[in-house]
Amino acid sequence: MTTQEIRKKYLDFFQKQQHVIVPSASLLPENDPTTLFTGSGMQPMVPFLLGQPHPMGTRIADSQKCFRSGDIEEVGDNRHTTFFEMLGNWSLGDYFKTEQIRWMWAFLTEELKLDPSRLYFTCFRGNETLGIPKDTEAAEQWQSLLQEAGVSAEIVDFSERDGMQGGRIFYYDEKKNWWSRSGVPGKMPVGEPGGPDTEMFWDFGEDLKLHEQSQWKDEPCHVNCDCGRFVEIGNNVFMQYQKTEQGFEQLPQKNVDFGGGLERMAAAVRDNQDVFTIDLFDGAREIIESMSGRTYGAVEGETYAFRVILDHLRAATFVVADGAFPSNKDQGYFTRRLIRRSVRFAKNLGIETSFTARVVEAYIETYKGHYPDLESKKQQIIDEIEKEELKFRKTLEQGIKQFEQVVSGKETGSASGAAPGKQIISATEAFDLYQSFGFPIELTEELAKERGLSVDLEGFQVEKEKHQALSRAGAEQKFKGGLSDHSDMSVKYHTATHLLHAAILKILGPHATQKGSNITPERLRFDFAHGEKMTDEQKQQVETLVNAAIERDYPVTFEILPIEEAKKKGAIGLFEDNYGEQVKVYTVGDPSGVPQADPSAETFSREFCGGPHVEHTGLLGKFRIVKEEACSAGVRRIKAVLE
């Protein structure tokens, strides 16, 4: 049974149960500012789950395209993917638990012919504090169906210490068996719908020794263990509550929201725990094997690289088709990351030439029957992804040149902090390659090994975690930077001074460096070195450059660097001598690019600064110079506003 046939069987089955089959919504949500992507089948259905009438009635089913950007780092094992299809059916105030559980049992055991003795189930344990009861109804229904099929079905409260306890149906807490877009009940915002769920698992079998070979081998195995023996293939959510100021109240209508991973169901039907062996990946996998000369599954490290490429280019194909072209902001940032990670891991397989177009074309061929828009947009999808691939290949080349600089001279003498005589690439050097040139640590390790060098991996992880912590702190505006206040307008004006500084240097020359600034919520004042009055044409050119950068909507990011490294990367700024050994550097544009104040460039400016700043330049509005005047001998002053 092919994966395409499983999708069709599911939709046909629920059509027989009087469900209207609707097409998948876009991966880019409409009218939902809370998220960048459609990450679940229920996401487009929220208004109807809250009571708004669906134009197609109260019984709906579909196969929804989903993308979860948070899973990018998880990809590489045998079951995680960023893109997937979620088979879904909904009851909008129509049927409830009894019908849904019986239908899912029939679909799994009769339509897909899955062995009932290898199915396991979990239900919600309840939360007395919140007044939400244990879901005994769902547990008892599963028990009855299993017993009818001749399968022993004990219901037990899951215990981390005791594992399976001979059970077939398990009560778990809200971390596992409660569903809302925002997680557990305590984290749900007022107005958010949610409810208990009951999940279905397929057992790939103890004889595979998956648990004994995993990092969890010393802990009891259970259905939610990550060893790979059990895989969740479906989840019935009983969407019956809404968070209110007073607590949890019943929704006006009780809803059912089923979501089942198409790819995981296919893996269960094939009885192969590796989701990347299902037929949807066949065409792409064969092309990668052909271009690399490697075989999927032959070498563990290479299999990891295969999986990253297979997942990421499939995801990129679909998100580009829905309009998320590679860029530095919003959804496009993740598209770019998917493509660049694919190129990185292709290098691990020995693929040194352009390859993405052929892999993407294979996916379009596989999916065009169910998603005809892939065929109609084929050339645009291929062009966008291949263009990003070629661009990143150049970045990789620059990174390799930087690597050569890092290792030059390491044949003699010890690296700082290393044991006598042992040559290492330091944590700082490895992290700079990672942060500035997109080098995965694995690539740095591989190149270092060829030179007889080692890499400070533990230190690298510390540097990475430190950077992530600083980034979070920056998002919370814990790093205050020389402003009289931190109102939204002051922060906007602060960011505008960076654009202005870069534009002045571009128009007037490298001598026109910053000499001071003063920012209020009403305007910015910027002093710079220049011996004569600016012409009207020069002022107009500066305004045009700044507004072009605003319109380009560059991302604004920061990193913490050693001061000499920051200077090497082209960072400019005032009072450089007053900074410590580590400095905070803000980049307007691509952090891996070279700063040049040109709206066609990927990176507009890079500057020493304490922050805070807006997250992207499009928030600034229109920039206008109000006045340009003398400040002191050889120093001019600009006053400007944002409108």
- 282 and 272 share a domain? no
- 326 and 376 share a domain? yes
Cβ 515 vs Cβ 574: under 8 Å: yes
Considering the domain boundaries, does residue 481 fall inside one?
no
Tell me how far apart the alpha carbons of residues 123 and 101 are, in angstroms, rounded to a whole number.
12
3-class SS at 607?
strand
Extract the tokens encoding 465.
């975690």
Could you tell me the pLDDT band of residue 31, with boundaries at 50, 70 and 90? Answer: low
Counting residues of the chain whose pLDDT is more than 90, the rounded percentage is 55
Mean pLDDT confidence for 113-117 = 97
Note the pLDDT tens digit of each residue in 507-561.
Answer: 999 999 888 778 888 899 998 889 899 999 999 999 999 999 999 999 998 887 8
Could you tell me the pLDDT band of residue 33, with boundaries at 50, 70 and 90? Answer: low
Backbone torsions φ then ψ of 166, nearest 5 degrees: 75, 15
| Buried residues in 358-391 as b, exposed as e (16+ CB within 10 A) | bbbbbbbebbeeebeebeebbeebbebbbebbee
Considering the domain boundaries, does residue 400 fall inside one?
no
CATH no. for residue 226?
3.30.930.10
Cβ 119 vs Cβ 107: under 8 Å: no
Note the pLDDT tens digit of each residue in 374-408.
Answer: 999 999 999 999 999 998 888 788 888 889 889 98
Count of positions (residues) in the chain: 643
Considering the domain boundaries, does residue 401 fall inside one?
no
Report how far apart the first and last C-alpha atoms of the chain are (Å, whole number). 61
- 319 and 435 share a domain? no
CB neighbourhood size of 511 (10 A): 11
Between these two residues, 18 and 448, which has the higher pLDDT value? Answer: 18
Considering the domain boundaries, does residue 482 fall inside one?
no
Mean pLDDT confidence for 456-478 = 67
Residue type, 309: I
Is pLDDT at 417 greater than 50 in this prediction? Answer: no
**What residues have CB less than 8 Å from 33, skipping those under 6 apart?**
none
Cis peptide before 29 (omega within 30 of 0): no
Where among 476, 498, 516 does a domain terminate? 476
- Range of 418-427, 442-451, 585-594 with top mean pLDDT: 585-594
Where among 250, 276, 302 does a domain terminate? 276
CATH no. for residue 593?
3.30.980.10
Considering the domain boundaries, does residue 65 fall inside one?
yes
Note the pLDDT tens digit of each residue in 325-378.
Answer: 998 777 888 898 899 889 989 988 999 999 999 999 999 999 999 999 999 999
- 33 and 18 share a domain? yes
Mean pLDDT confidence for 283-293 = 97
Alpha helices in 149-195 (DSSP H): 174-177
Tell me how far apart the alpha carbons of residues 258 and 90 are, in angstroms, rounded to a whole number.
6
- 23 and 172 share a domain? yes
Domain range spanning residue 437? 409-476
- 414 and 369 share a domain? no
CB pairs under 8 A, 24+ apart, for 298-305?
301/348, 302/348, 302/349, 304/76, 304/345, 305/345, 305/346, 305/348, 305/349
Sign of the alpha-carbon dihedral angle for 263, 266, 271, 272:
negative
Type and span of the H or E element at 86: strand 83-92
Considering the domain boundaries, does residue 399 fall inside one?
no
The answer to pTM > 0.75 is no
**What residues have CB less than 8 Å from 429, skipping those under 6 apart?**
406
Q: How many CA atoms lie within 13 A of 316 on its CB side?
A: 37
Cβ 111 vs Cβ 104: under 8 Å: no
Task: Check residue 301 and give its pLDDT.
Answer: 84
- 118 and 256 share a domain? yes
Total number of domains in the chain: 4
- 494 and 565 share a domain? yes
Could you tell me the pLDDT band of residue 433, with boundaries at 50, 70 and 90? Answer: confident
Considering the domain boundaries, does residue 324 fall inside one?
yes
Where among 445, 476, 507 does a domain terminate? 476
Sign of the alpha-carbon dihedral angle for 235, 238, 242, 243:
negative
Between these two residues, 213 and 63, which has the higher pLDDT value? Answer: 63
- 114 and 256 share a domain? yes
- Measure Cα distances from 385 to 283, 312, 356, 357 in Å: 18, 11, 7, 7
- 309 and 449 share a domain? no
- 454 and 524 share a domain? no
Unique residue bearing structure tokens 């044409």 = 537
CB pairs under 8 A, 24+ apart, for 299-305?
301/348, 302/348, 302/349, 304/76, 304/345, 305/345, 305/346, 305/348, 305/349
- Region of residue 250 (phi > 0: left; psi between -120 and 50: alpha; otherwise: beta): beta
Considering the domain boundaries, does residue 59 fall inside one?
yes
Alpha helices in 454-578 (DSSP H): 457-475, 488-508, 536-552, 563-568
- 312 and 204 share a domain? no
- Measure Cα distances from 70 to 82, 337, 564 in Å: 8, 12, 34
- Range of 141-150, 218-227, 481-490, 519-528 with top mean pLDDT: 141-150
Counting residues of the chain whose pLDDT is more than 70, the rounded percentage is 92
